Amino acid sequence: MTKSYLIKLFLANFVFNIKEMCGRYSFAQLSIEVEKWFKIHVDGNTYIARYNAAPGQLQGVITNSNPQTLSYLTWGLIPFWAKDSTMASKLINARSETILSKPAYNKSFHSKRCLIPADGFYEWKKMGKQIIPHHIRLKSLEMFAIAGIWDEWISESGKAIQTFSLITTSANQIMKPIHQRMPVILTPETEGAWLSNDLKPRELLDFLRPYPDENMEVYEVSNLVNSVVNEGESLKIQAKPTHQLSLF
């Protein structure tokens, strides 16, 4: 995907994200720590740490077809039956409530599931004319896995392109003041089951619930995260609140 396409993809999804989507997350851990936490192999020579993971980029995921290794897929699902790649910009998220009924997601939910490693995600809260970015993470500061689905699409040239979409659910209490949706965060106990073939789709739906809000925290961050070209630890640093409560 070209740089100009990525920028257009981001701008389209940023506007839509305010209403519906989770359009950015972070996963910036040492490769050796990722190996220990998820008990997988990570190639340190190709490992990509992301402070500002965005649609259209290659991201590290753990697929059910290769559960022992961190693989790199493009964020933005292209179903195997798609005529072209344009659907990717609209399929960065899959709603848990309709994942079994939507043709773009149904087959992948049955047979192509993945874990999306993360250490936090971003959402934007609309406050008057301002849109304020926030970073949401676990209070424990531990890594976690977002539930995802993936697919493989063959281009006209015969190239196999693997893509993914993360699954969202309704917001928990800590998220509701910011956004109506949130990513499905799996517990360490359910990660293995999500990748296995032991459970039926209806049983897997039980995993797609809001994460307990008492185990999460949220804070404002710099507007630097608004641009996909920005990377680095500074994006996750808590920013001075851009608003103050009035006493009158």
Annotated domain spans of the chain: 3-236
pTM of the model: 0.89
Instruction: List the helix and strand counts (H, then E) for the chain.
Output: 5, 13
Neighbours of 20 (CB within 10 A): 14
Catalytic residues: 22, 123
Q: What is the CATH number of domain 3-236?
A: 3.90.1680.10
Q: For residues 212 and 191, what is the distance between their CA atoms, to the nearest angstrom?
A: 16
Helix spans in 39-176 (H): 103-111
Residue found under tokens 């087959």:
107
User: How far apart (Å, rounded) are the C-alpha atoms in residues 175 and 211?
Assistant: 10
pLDDT per residue as tens, the chain (248 positions): 444 444 444 444 444 344 456 899 999 999 999 999 999 999 999 999 999 999 999 999 999 999 999 999 999 999 999 999 998 989 999 999 999 999 999 999 999 999 999 999 999 998 888 899 999 999 999 999 999 999 999 998 999 999 999 999 999 999 999 999 999 999 999 999 999 989 998 899 999 999 999 999 999 999 999 999 999 999 998 887 665 433 33
Q: Which two tokens stand for residue 188?
A: 């360490």
The answer to whether the beta carbons of residues 219 and 133 sit under 8 Å apart is no
